[in-house]
Structure 1
């Protein structure tokens, strides 16, 4: 496991602590499948993970922090496909589709991530920044070298808006991913 895998928003983790955090994030997904975001509590997640509530709170300040960490870990574990193929438009569309579909098969988790990432918790802000930086890097690498910063910003705005719409229930993540690709193609092919 890489050193980054032991990194937490609240503190550096040793192996045992990293295992506890992994169990908590996995348990959060289990609880979300049953109770959705409104019914999620750090205590319920701790119980599902077999961890004391006080221990869980040493790692996660809130349920929003916990759910943001779930998404961060899924993003980090997802393949980084931006270098595939010679066509920059196809590469950018591949990155967008990959990220948009990360949670497509987990609608309760997807909706919870939308809620969590809008939170004001300082740890959520840190994870939101990390997530944004990661997505920015993937998109920037997928674009042509020296690509337009304005086009990149437009694609990032499009992505954020599309996932917010999906999280608000205006379509499934699979449907939104298709619409995101079509809209991004318009921006990329007609800047």
Structure 2
């Protein structure tokens, strides 16, 4: 029997063998490549599977939709990114570092940022599952940065973050501007 891969990066639909994990890695990498050529509306699971060197059915074995696929790409990037240093004694500095890092995660890839924004708003059950995982990871990082559990402040920070990213996704702000607005907002909230 093949060894199962158990990591934070496993597909949300099943536990993966080493071979399956490699296939999922190839699919997520191919998704970014196809997106850069075809744009979000032109990207399909069929095209991504072909670019990954697997059949369309294999693509759908792991991803229920392109929204699920791009949500997975974001999830993997988020958890692959080490949280910022939490050694600073000032909790505001720590929270700003967390929000800046997360908000800049896709700043250099506007097409991917747009695809992820569209994907995360989808109603696919697999996307809903990933939204919960993503929100839990961001909450964990904010909680670590605050030092002590403060659910009201965390809820406000989450709202600030999600609203700012929505503004960027709609093209009203750049991701660097989002980071600046978040910093100013955090400094006011935690003053």
Q: TM-score range by the shorter chain?
A: over 0.9
Contact 1:71–1:113 at 8 Å: present in 2 too? yes
CA distance in 1, matches of 2:125, 2:22: 23
Q: Which residue of 2 aligns with 1:188?
A: 190
Q: 1:72 aligns with which of 63, 75, 79?
A: 75
The question of 1:111 aligning with 2:148 is answered no
The alpha carbon displacement at 1:55 in A equals 0.4
Q: Which residue of 2 aligns with 1:178?
A: 180
The alpha carbon displacement at 1:36 in A equals 2.1
Q: When the two structures are superposed, what TM-score results if normalisation uses the length of structure 1? A: 0.94
The question of 1:32 aligning with 2:22 is answered no
Show the 5 A alignment for 1:124-139: 124-139=127-142
The alpha carbon displacement at 1:7 in A equals 2.3
3-state SS in 1 of match to 2:189: helix
The question of 1:55 aligning with 2:58 is answered yes
Alpha-carbon deviations, 1:159-182, whole Å to 9, x = none? 010111111111221221111111
Alpha-carbon deviations, 1:61-85, whole Å to 9, x = none? 0000000000000001111115231
Alpha-carbon deviations, 1:73-106, whole Å to 9, x = none? 0001111115231110000000000000000000
CA distance in 1, matches of 2:188, 2:140: 21
CA distance in 1, matches of 2:65, 2:45: 7
The alpha carbon displacement at 1:5 in A equals 4.7
Show the 5 A alignment for 1:14-25: 14-25=17-28
3-state SS in 1 of match to 2:12: coil
Q: When the two structures are superposed, what TM-score results if normalisation uses the length of structure 2? A: 0.94
Contact 2:9–2:79 at 8 Å: present in 1 too? no
Contact 1:163–1:176 at 8 Å: present in 2 too? yes
Show the 5 A alignment for 1:125-164: 125-146=128-149, 148-164=150-166
Unpaired runs of at least 5, structure 1 = none
Give the aligned length: 188
Contact 1:82–1:141 at 8 Å: present in 2 too? no
Give the RMSD, CA atoms, in angstroms.
Answer: 1.5
The alpha carbon displacement at 1:35 in A equals 2.1
